[in-house]
Each structure stands twice: as structure tokens, then as C-alpha cells.
Chain A
Amino acid sequence: MPEILRRERLVPNIHLLEVRAPEIAAKCRAGQFMIVMPDVRGERIPLTIADWNAKRGSVTAVFMLVGTSTHKLSLLKAGDELPVVVGPLGKPSDIRNYGTVVCAGGCFGIAAIYPIARALKEAGNRVITLIDVKANYLFYWENKFKRVSDRISVSSRDSFYDSKEYIPHQLQTLIGEEKKIDRVVAIGCTYLMYSCSEATRAAGIRTMVSLNPIMVDGTGMCGACRVTADGKTKFACVDGPDFDGHTIDWQELFARRKSYFDDEVRSYCDWERNEFP
């Protein structure tokens, strides 16, 4: 079973997980994800591959603590094993020289957008990174982003950074400032991706989002992750996870993501009661 090489807390509530998976590391490209299962009674959850090291034979994901599975993962340590690590899944992101690209990310999406920003930079783009955090201490990987960005703009709700604006406003400000933006890539919670897509719609800037519907197998055999793009049903695990944000039925995605809300709460309460009596 795949061994955990590193599990560390990056910022409050957000953890990094590095797993030995040489085959995945050898094949992985920006925008792909893996499915992991924290223990044998666990469920299969998708995590974006935020970084990989073919030499070391490892892949890295960053996750936010939101329920039973992510809490289980956050208690594991180096040397522990995961019953399931499978990937790389999904289509890689479209990486080309577009010109000027904005990479917008928030919470776990900060890590998820990093490999895309890196690949876009390597492809010769001018990369502008836009980060949105609730508070300054929730920003991580600043140095990594500095190396792959031509310009970084961070906004948080506290007074630490220049801007307190929410990400769609930040994006609109940027559209006003920059001469030309050829593409936007946004990753984070569904609301962040939805609002970024709405912010660029009027300007007609192609905006790619990495959708995060519920998944089970991650290989296209069940359709749990189906979304409506351009009026057609697509399976995010095989047709995506990247889609043009202007074509997505967001209301449907919001509803489908809440399918098991009550069960998730019940599962977490149950697990926590057993773990922390």
C-alpha cells in the first residue's frame, strides 16, 4: 500500500500530503488529480495533484479539513500507508502560450493552481497570480508562486495585504489595469470558481475552472461527478476536471455538491465522538 512520506500542516485547517507513488509521479501533468482513501472503511475522495517529483517517486496534494475523510487524513503521519492512491486521473489542463494568463486561487485551490501556473510560465506566458484568503495567515506557498509569477496580488479580509476585496472584484480591477488578459484559470471552492467566471463573462475572457463535484471511482464508470457544460452532460472525472466556466450550469453543481450534506455531518459527528470522547 502507498506510503505517506510527509504530512504537515501548512496553515490552520490546510494540510499537505506527500505520498510515494512513482508511477503516478512519472505520468502526471498539471491539472490532473488522484483518488485516495484514508483507511479501509473510508470513502474514495478526489485530491488535485499539487506537485510531484518523478525522481523521488512522490506526489503531493493539499487538502482542507472539511469532514470525516480529510480529518482522518490529517491525523496520519509519515510511514503510515493509504489503502488507495490512484491516478493520475482526468485530462491534463490545456497548456499553451496564450500571452497573459491570470491564475486565481483560494484555500485548497492555492495549491491546486500552482502546477498550472508553473506549466503556463514554462510555456512562455506572462503569469499573473491572484490569491484570495480569509486572513493573511491562510496564505501559503508564497515563494513557490513568486518563482512562477510575473505579478502577484493577494487580498484578504484582514488589513495585512493591500486589498480586502473579494476575488471577483479583484479580478475586475485587474481587468481594468492590464492591457490585455488572454485567459483566466480559477480554482477554489465552487463559489469562487462561479464568481470568477461571472466576473470575466462581460469582458469575454475565456475562463477555465477545475470543477469539484462528488466523485466515487474517478474513472468514468458511475457518473456521480456529472455536470452540465454547454447544455450537455459531462463526467468531470474523464471529460474534465477543467471546463470553460462560462458554459457550466452552476446551480446544478451547487445542488449536487450538497447531495449528502446531512450524511456528511452525521458521519463526522459519529467519527469525532469515537475519536475524541
Chain B
Amino acid sequence: MSDKQELPSELKARLKAEYDMEWRKEMRKSVPIKERMKIPRQKMPEREPGERNRDFKEVNKGLDLETARREAQRCWDCANPGCVSGCPVAIDIPSFIKLIDKGDIIASLCKIKETNSLPAICGRVCPQETQCEVVCNLKKATGQPVAIGNLERFVSDYERQKGEVFIPPIPPPTGKKVAIIGAGPAGLTAAGELAKKGHDVTIFEALHIAGGVLVYGIPEFRLPKSILKTEVEYLQKLGVRLRTSFVVGKTATLEDLKNEGYEAFFIGTGAGLPNFMRIPGENLVGVYSANEYLTRCNLMRAYEFPLYDTPVIRGRRVAVIGGGNVAMDSVRTAKRLGAELAAIIYRRSRHELPAREEEVKHAEEEGIEFHFLTTPVRYIGDEKGRVKAMECLRMELGEPDASGRRRPVPVEGSESITEIDMAVVAIGQSPNPLMAQTTPELRVGKWGNLEVDWLTMGTALPGVYAGGDIVRGGATVILAMGDGRLAAAHLDQYLKNGRS
């Protein structure tokens, strides 16, 4: 998605109309580009590593109004904005940034909410460095793109602090019932879009709190749950209904919901099936899947045990296997729960780490150890069945594989044993199989993903759309949101004309 792509002509026309508005022209004239280029990229204030790695409060403190306006001044307001093409939901980025520059923060927020219902979340968890910011024209000129993500976050935080929630106008009810299956980023986005079209939207969620990976996966120190709660309440203010503790496929099938009058469906059930390595000792006590570890800590708040009843093992020497964002979240959580040694075990080198650069930097600052070109081959237990050590092999990078990354090859005779008392396996998730198992008409790909028409996100069943990790495998929050948005547009067409 990082490649710059041609924008649809309708969107181009909309951007051009905004670009040509008088106030935008005036703003461009008011400060010459040369002046703008003298402003350095404004730093996101952060809490001190030695303090923040002992609690679960947010690491980034957010920009203040003054800093945000200075950062917004850096934007050239290009006639041909690269940034918009890098955003999976095509936010009119120049408009919202220039409104900050002008000082009209609420107008800026309305601009974002035209295409993105969850800005407080995207501003925090999107990998902007590979999306909007990588195609920022200022980056090409200076190497320092406009901090689009930080600005998006600033705008949404400003709204929340003011306490007034902007609700866009909603057309009269269409009387059409839509079921959204899964309250993760894809489902929440689709729900917001469809509610704004006047449809009667209900989200069905298996867990007891909405948010999907935003609530059970991403820790409080990256995304405070109070913010997620506000965003979900915003959707409810748009008229979206939420049924938690409802497992579609078990509590009711898609067919049952059809019989209850739901006319169209969006499946956003994610990639919630943890992968294990299938090596000896993986079922020892103290070896967690990242999903379990993070669910205990985030959803069930085990870090507040015994105030909350769910326990979690507080390892002293913790190994986290993997190099993605889930691995970073797990290892930083373990550190916060008192680990003396919290280490990432990754089979490739630092260069190939799939985690966001910001997360890796934060982890390093917080005292996380990184062991590259290393892979576990077995876990060793004590007489009580608890993990006490891990045997690893060193790796070398060989020829590039199909994904273009150099394939790690084990070095013979390089076995070594490390003492650990906890391990977290964070090597990826597979699509959740429940929907496909109970709705055999859905077509399933070889990775267990649902097959869709990528132009419409439609599945093999008419009126049934899908998006996010259930079609992509483990991907990003914003791609899921982009899918939700695209599917919602076609689902709306389907409800109007009987086809998308």
C-alpha cells in the first residue's frame, strides 16, 4: 500500500475544489515555502523510558496547540498531494492540516471524519512512515515529512478534551438492517460508514468489549482504552447498535440473522487464530501465545491483579519470539510487569524487523534486549511442567525468498541454552475459522482467509462483504479500516440496487 497510486477522478476533483478555496490560497501566500522549510519537524513529547517502563500509562504525550500549529505550517499544501494516495482511507490531508495551521481545529476534525471515523486510533497506531508520510513531498525535499499522524492525533485529542463531540448529519432511516460481524477496526469503520447512510446497523462481537485487536491486543501504553471507548460511543451516537458476547457461528449463524431480517452483512472477524511453531515443549506452563498474553493483560487487565481477577505470569526472564508489532507489545508489557530480562528473539536481522520503527525505538529505550538471527528449537521444562530454559539455534541470511526477504538458514552446531521462566510466541496469527466453518457457501483461500472481489470486498454470497485480517491475514489496523470503508460503499449500493 506504500506505493503511490493514481487517485480516482472523483476524489481528485474534490481535493482540487478544496485546494482552490480562497482561504487556502491566502494561507499559501501568507508564508513562503522557503520560510516553511526552515521549521524543523516537531518532536512528539514522550515520557522518560525509565519511568514509563514501570506502568501502563501512555508513552507519547501528544502535541500542544502551539506545536501542532507549527508542525502544520511545515506542510506546503501541494497541488498534487502525495500523502492522500498513501492513506488507505484517502483522508483529505492537506485540508485538515491547513485548518490546523489556520487554528480552526474543530473544522479540521470534521474534515478528517468525512472519511475516517476513528482518528484518535489511527493517529496512534497507523504506520504513517510507510503510508501517508512516506509519500509526503516534503520528505523527498528534506527527508523529514510532515508529522501527519501526530497531527491527526492532536486534532482528535483536542476534541475529546473540549468534551464536545461532533456528530455529522445523518439522513432519514432507510429501514434496511445490516449486520456487522466483529467489532474490530474493519467492522467499526464499516458500521460508522453505513450508519451515516441511514441504515439500521448492528455489530455482533464475541468478546465483552468492542474493539477487537484495539482492545485485546494493543496495550494501554500505546492506545488508552478510554480513547477506544469514546470512539465506540461516537459510533453508538451515530445510531450503531452493539451486541457483545455474541459469537456468530455459535450463538446464531449467518442464516439465523438473515431470518431475523438482516439484509446485508459485513464480516470483519480478523486473524485471531494464534500460530505456534510446533516445537517440543511449547505446551509447558509459562509458554504463551501472544494473543493469550496480551488478552490477559489488556482485555482482562491482569496487570492490575488482584484488583482484577485474571492472573498472568510475571516472568523474571522473558523471551518473546517474533519481530512484529505484536512481539514489541508483548515484550514491553513483560518489562512493565517486572521482568529483569525481556528479550526479542528474531530469526532475521534488525533490518528485516516488521515492527514499526517507533515501536522498536521505544522498546530499545525501555531496556528491551534484541537477539537477532536466533530461533528457538525447543523449550525445556522442570519437574512441575514449567518452562525453565530454551534451546536456540543461530541463523544466517541466505537467498531472498518469495516475499523478497532473505531467508534465514540455521547454522549447524550453534545450539545454545538460555534460562527463561516465560516465553511468548508472537510469530503471527491466521484468519479466524469460525465463520467459514459455519457458513460453507463462503469461499476460503489456502491460508484460511475469506476470498473476496478486491474491487468491492464482496464474498461469494450476494450481500455478504468481508474485510480486514479475515481476508488479508495479519495486516494493519488502517488497511482493515480501508477495507471496511470500501465494503460499506458497495454494501450501500447493494442495499439500494440489489447489486454492488
Using CB atoms and an 8 Å cutoff, list the residues of chain A in contact with chain B. 23-24, 27, 37, 41-44, 68-69, 83-89, 216-217, 219-224, 226-228, 233, 238, 251-252, 254-256, 258-260, 263-264, 266-267, 270-271
Taking a contact as CB atoms closer than 8 A, the residue among A222, A238, A256 that contacts B291 in the complex is A222
B200-226 contacts to A (CB < 8 Å): 206-208
User: Ordered nearest first, which 7 A-B pairs have the shortest CB separation?
Assistant: A255-B385, A263-B311, A221-B272, A222-B292, A86-B245, A43-B310, A43-B309
- A233:B278 contact, CB within 8 angstroms: yes
- B208:A252 contact, CB within 8 angstroms: no
- A85:B309 contact, CB within 8 angstroms: no
CA of A233 to CA of B289, assembled, Å: 13
- A222:B289 contact, CB within 8 angstroms: yes
- B309:A251 contact, CB within 8 angstroms: no
CA of A255 to CA of B382, assembled, Å: 11
- B276:A233 contact, CB within 8 angstroms: yes
Contacts of A227 in B (CB 8 A): 283
Contacts of A267 in B (CB 8 A): 305-306, 309, 311
CA of A222 to CA of B289, assembled, Å: 6
Contacts of B295 in A (CB 8 A): 216-217, 221-222
Contacts of B306 in A (CB 8 A): 263, 266-267, 270-271
CA of A267 to CA of B308, assembled, Å: 9
B78 interfacial by beta-carbon distance below 8 Å: no
Dominant secondary structure at the B interface: loop
> In the assembled complex, how far is the CB of residue B309 from the closest CB belonging to chain A, in whole angstroms?
4
CA of A233 to CA of B274, assembled, Å: 12
B92 interfacial by beta-carbon distance below 8 Å: no
- A259:B285 contact, CB within 8 angstroms: yes
Contacts of A219 in B (CB 8 A): 206, 247, 250, 272, 434
B273 interfacial by beta-carbon distance below 8 Å: yes
B420-437 contacts to A (CB < 8 Å): 432-434
- B385:A221 contact, CB within 8 angstroms: no
A-B contact pairs, 30 of them (CB 8 A): A23-B251, A24-B251, A37-B208, A41-B307, A41-B309, A42-B309, A43-B300, A43-B308, A69-B309, A86-B247, A87-B251, A216-B292, A216-B296, A217-B295, A219-B206, A219-B247, A220-B433, A221-B272, A221-B274, A221-B432, A223-B292, A233-B276, A233-B282, A251-B385, A252-B283, A255-B384, A255-B386, A263-B306, A263-B311, A267-B305
Given contacts A24-B251, A233-B282, A267-B306, contact A220 B311 (CB under 8 A): no
Q: How many residues of B are counted as interface, with CB atoms below 8 angstroms from the partner's CB atoms?
A: 40
> In the assembled complex, how far is the CB of residue A276 from the closest CB belonging to chain B, in whole angstroms?
16
Taking a contact as CB atoms closer than 8 A, the residue among B245, B284, B308, B386 that contacts A85 in the complex is B245
Contacts of B208 in A (CB 8 A): 37, 44, 83-84, 86
Contacts of B433 in A (CB 8 A): 220
- A228:B300 contact, CB within 8 angstroms: no
B254 interfacial by beta-carbon distance below 8 Å: no
Given contacts A23-B252, A41-B307, A267-B305, contact A217 B283 (CB under 8 A): no
CA of A226 to CA of B289, assembled, Å: 11
- A221:B245 contact, CB within 8 angstroms: no
B246 interfacial by beta-carbon distance below 8 Å: yes
> In the assembled complex, how far is the CB of residue A63 from the closest CB belonging to chain B, in whole angstroms?
15
CA of A270 to CA of B308, assembled, Å: 11
Taking a contact as CB atoms closer than 8 A, the residue among A68, A238, A252 that contacts B309 in the complex is A68
- A220:B385 contact, CB within 8 angstroms: no
CA of A227 to CA of B282, assembled, Å: 11
A43-B308, A86-B208 provided; 17 other pairs, C-beta below 8 A?
A: A23-B252, A41-B307, A42-B308, A44-B310, A88-B251, A217-B206, A219-B247, A219-B250, A222-B291, A223-B276, A223-B289, A252-B283, A256-B385, A259-B285, A267-B309, A267-B311, A270-B306
